[in-house]
Amino acid sequence: MRHLVRSVPQTCPGPSSHLSPLSSAGRQNYDLLVIGGGSGGLACAKEAAQLGKKVAVVDYVEPSPRGTRWGLGGTCVNVGCIPKKLMHQAALLGGMVRDAPHYGWALQPVPHDWTTMAEAVQNHVKSLNWGHRVQLQDRKVTYFNIKASFVDAHMVCGVSKGGKETLLSAEHIVIATGGRPRYPTHIEGALEYGITSDDLFWLKESPGKTLVVGASYVALECAGFLTGLGLDTTVMIRSIPLRGFDQQMSSLVTEYMASQGTRFLRGCTPSRVQRLPDGQLQVTWEDPSSGKEDTGTFNTVLWAIGRIPETRSLNLEKAGVHTSPTSQKILVDAQETTSVPHIYAIGDVAEGRPELTPTAIMAGKLLAQRLCGQSSDVMDYENVPTTVFTPLEYGCVGLSEEEAVARHGEEHVEVYHAYYKPLEFTVAERDASQCYIKMVCLRKPPQLVLGLHFLGPNAGEVTQGFALGIKCGASYAQVMRTVGIHPTCAEEVAKLRISKRSGLDPTVTGC
């Protein structure tokens, strides 16, 4: 029988043990063992099981330093995409409530209640946790709620919350352990008084006046919805916003946020967090431009300064799996194979991969198909679309203007652009100064599209469709032959006539 688990009374071998399932018992318990039940791991496990493999998934959530814990499904479901998008939606609704009187709705002032929102969001997340468990059961994937580490290249030891140890072995092992938010190590009071995105979505009470430290996806998205919910919110940026994104678009994102009330402290880094007698947090920061220290008081300090891959507790050296000395992420090739031929790594834990749910899922599914001999397709990480869910959403696919110029030279790049006004902003008298689109193309006909950048409502929905065109090698000429859907914001993409080079005013006027 292949489908065996050796569990208590057998305990996990200590550091000096050489026990191997192959040498000691000559058998392998699973065809595939997946470590990490998040976006990539669950997708891989379910696909492999559907294709007839004996599969086990182990997942374990180490509570955050604040003690926050959650269920099966990984970052996206519990402390990422899902609660984030729902809270973003809560904030957008606030904007619609403000628009409503212009459209004839006689509304009283509507206060927002964090506790009600958080409870609803958390209940939805719990229903997704349950849904994942049911799906694993339906597909006959064995699930263990244990924290795994390698014993050797074929065997993994898992420890449950109560200390029970389980040994699992498999022919193939997939590491999909994701990452966790990083805390600063050199700032007094950072760990003691600060929280991260792992805690924010599970707060039962409003975080109140909040300082968000960091300037990338997590920082700007969280600051955006906190502002939209009516909270006094400050973002501390040490360098530039949204590093790696098109910088013109990034500036427009933060300009819009500032117009909506988010405060920005630029070029500053915190040096100390202290709790005052009244319970508030006093943050001291350095402003290199003035050379001075400054302070401010907040109810909450949210660290959004990047993520650390979950490789530290895996005992990877026991299996011979190599990691990058700089990022600590697992080194993989195009097949997602690590330095050990039967061990793979997918998703956020793998070096050089975008930290996005759909890429982790697709990589996991394709890996399962290859392992089952169903396909030889490898994941294509080119032209992955993404959206930053800031108050004015920013969707993009392909190259930024800077990247296109660096790769092809300025004289070979044509950028078409437009400032437009979403129809729904007109009656509501909303400012649309930052609603902007640009398409980065090769200059030579038929002008292959290299990148599309869209700032406006529903950017994710708009970008998804155009991503298909760009994946298929669309040219500017083909986009111009695409008939728009009127009246939408997306149709503005198919109407981009003004090139930056022409110097003409890119503001869209009329219908």
Does position 176 interact with ligand FAD (CB under 6 A)? The reply is yes
User: Which stretches does DSSP call E strand in 77-146?
Assistant: 142-144
Cα 506 from Cα 511, distance rounded (Å)? 14
209 is in an annotated binding site: no
CB 359 within 8 A of CB 369: no
Q: Which of 505, 503, 481 is nearest to 495 (CA)?
A: 481
Does position 56 interact with ligand FAD (CB under 6 A)? The reply is no
Does position 273 interact with ligand NDP (CB under 6 A)? The reply is no
Is 486 considered catalytic here?
yes
CB 439 within 8 A of CB 414: no
For residue 38, the partner it binds in ligand NDP, ligand FAD, none, with Cβ less than 5 to 8 A by kind, is ligand FAD
Burial class (CB in 10 A: 0-12, 13-18, 19+), 459: buried
Does position 81 interact with ligand FAD (CB under 6 A)? The reply is yes
CB 361 within 8 A of CB 40: yes
For residue 310, the partner it binds in ligand FAD, ligand NDP, none, with Cβ less than 5 to 8 A by kind, is ligand FAD
Interaction mask 34-63, ligand NDP, x per CB under 6 A: ------------------------------
Q: At 88, is the secondary structure helix, strand, or coil? A: helix
Order across the sheet with 210-213: list the strands: 263-266, 233-237, 210-213, 300-303
Record the tokens describing residue 279, joined without a space.
């319970």
Cα 45 from Cα 57, distance rounded (Å)? 7
For residue 207, the partner it binds in ligand NDP, ligand FAD, none, with Cβ less than 5 to 8 A by kind, is none
Q: Which is closer to ligand NDP, CB of 38 or CB of 214?
A: 214
Among 16, 123, 127, 239, binds ligand NDP (CB under 6 A): 239
Cα 422 from Cα 490, distance rounded (Å)? 10
Q: Give, as one character, the DSSP assignment of residue 499.
A: B
For residue 58, the partner it binds in ligand FAD, ligand NDP, none, with Cβ less than 5 to 8 A by kind, is ligand FAD
214 is in an annotated binding site: yes
Does position 305 interact with ligand NDP (CB under 6 A)? The reply is yes
Q: Which of 375, 345, 377, 379 is nearest to 359 (CA)?
A: 379
CB 172 within 8 A of CB 338: no
Q: Which of 84, 122, 129, 65 is nearest to 308 (CA)?
A: 65
Does position 357 interact with ligand FAD (CB under 6 A)? The reply is yes
Cα 448 from Cα 62, distance rounded (Å)? 47
Q: Give, as one character, the DSSP assignment of residue 339.
A: S
Does position 396 interact with ligand NDP (CB under 6 A)? The reply is no
Does position 455 interact with ligand FAD (CB under 6 A)? The reply is no
Segment 272-311, which members bind ligand FAD (CB under 6 A)? 310
Segment 359-378, which members bind ligand FAD (CB under 6 A)? 360
Q: Which is closer to ligand FAD, CB of 36 or CB of 241?
A: 36
Number of helices followed by number of strands (H, E) in the chain: 15, 22
Segment 476-495, which members bind ligand FAD (CB under 6 A)? none
134 is in an annotated binding site: no
Among 285, 344, 389, 419, binds ligand NDP (CB under 6 A): 389
Does position 218 interact with ligand NDP (CB under 6 A)? The reply is yes
For residue 347, the partner it binds in ligand FAD, ligand NDP, none, with Cβ less than 5 to 8 A by kind, is ligand FAD
Q: Which is closer to ligand FAD, CB of 40 or CB of 189?
A: 40
Residues belonging to the active site:
486
Binding site for ligand FAD (CB under 6 A): 35-41, 58-61, 74-76, 80-81, 84, 147-148, 176-178, 197, 218, 310, 313-314, 347-349, 355-358, 360, 389
